[in-house]
Structure 1
Amino acid sequence: MDTFVFALRDFFEFLFSFMPSTGAAINLIFIGLITFFTFYWIKEMAGHSKKQ
């Protein structure tokens, strides 16, 4: 079981090792995506209320 836990730790350490090198860029990408889809969802919901 220890081997599995250590392997999992090493995998996640490798997976997230690139995050500091991206700086704030990854945060800005996620903020942009969330903002875009929020406005899209609001537009869709406004369209549904007009149909009823």
Structure 2
Amino acid sequence: MIDTACAKPVLIKKHGCGVVVVVSVKEYERFSVQSRRADKGEAGTKGAPKSGQ
């Protein structure tokens, strides 16, 4: 599983439903940075028109 998760996320299912995803540290850090940017309102908002305008 470790080798596979280093290459791509691994979905773990329980009773046919996804419950956990195992990812590499590199992917986890990338997601964490994106999440922090989104929390600050930085992700994908620069230059984007506001809705209704």
Please state which band the TM-score falls in when normalised by the shorter chain: 0.3 to 0.5
TM-score (norm 2): 0.36
